[in-house]
């Protein structure tokens, strides 16, 4: 009986340290997952930036060939997930202007927002200035791409630049 009374009188002091350990691990896990998510978003943005000059170049080429902006955009969408999503929005009945705005916002990259603005302005003002502006944007984007850090970029970028510029 005396041994039982001694055990009942003691309290378990492990509850608080265990609770603190679990809380700390949960907070650390939250921040690690947040960093991982930020890294994924940054990799996606880098990938979008790398493909931007090709996107604008193709769009300009299709317009020179006589295609409408919408047709050229949707043709590009067959090989570009972001553009393809925008084309499916148009097929679902959203207006071109709304789709182009969504496209820029969805990308979350300055260059794509600029492209979406050019496309929206084209709808309002007409096609007369779009092609020269797209050609200028294509050259600017290609020059900027060549100055991006090399990670994720192949040697094909330099060859592609030489090809596009007639070198």
Enter the tokens of residue 150. Answer: 């090399």
Give residue 61's pLDDT: 94
Cα 151 from Cα 2, distance rounded (Å) = 72
**pTM score, two decimals?**
0.69
Report the run of H or E that residue 53 belongs to, with start and end: helix 15-64
Report which of residues 88 and 138 the model is more confident about: 88
Averaged over 79-106, what is the pLDDT?
96
Window from 18-22, 27-31, 112-116, 122-126 with minimum mean pLDDT: 27-31
Cα 111 from Cα 13, distance rounded (Å) = 58
| Each residue's pLDDT tens digit, 5-35 | 555 555 567 788 888 878 887 887 777 777 8
CB 164 within 8 A of CB 139: no
Q: Which residue has the tokens 């300009």?
A: 60
Q: ∠ CA(38), CA(41), CA(42), 5° rounding?
A: 85
């Amino acid at each position: 009986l005396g041994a039982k009374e001694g055990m009942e009188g003691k309290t378990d002091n492990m509850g608080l340290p265990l609770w603190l350990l679990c809380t700390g691990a949960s907070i650390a896990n939250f921040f690690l997952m947040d960093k991982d998510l930020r890294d994924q978003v940054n990799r996606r943005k880098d990938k979008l930036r790398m493909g931007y000059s090709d996107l604008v170049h193709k769009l300009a080429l299709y317009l020179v060939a006589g295609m409408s902006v919408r047709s050229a955009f949707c043709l590009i969408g067959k090989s570009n997930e972001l553009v393809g999503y925008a084309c499916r929005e148009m097929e679902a009945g959203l207006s071109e202007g709304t789709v182009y705005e969504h496209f820029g916002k969805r990308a979350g990259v300055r260059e794509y927002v600029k492209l979406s603005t050019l496309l929206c302005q084209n709808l309002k003002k007409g096609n007369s200035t779009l092609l020269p502006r797209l050609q200028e944007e294509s050259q600017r984007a290609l020059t900027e791409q060549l100055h991006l850090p090399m990670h994720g970029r192949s040697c094909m970028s330099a060859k592609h630049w030489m090809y596009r510029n007639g070198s």
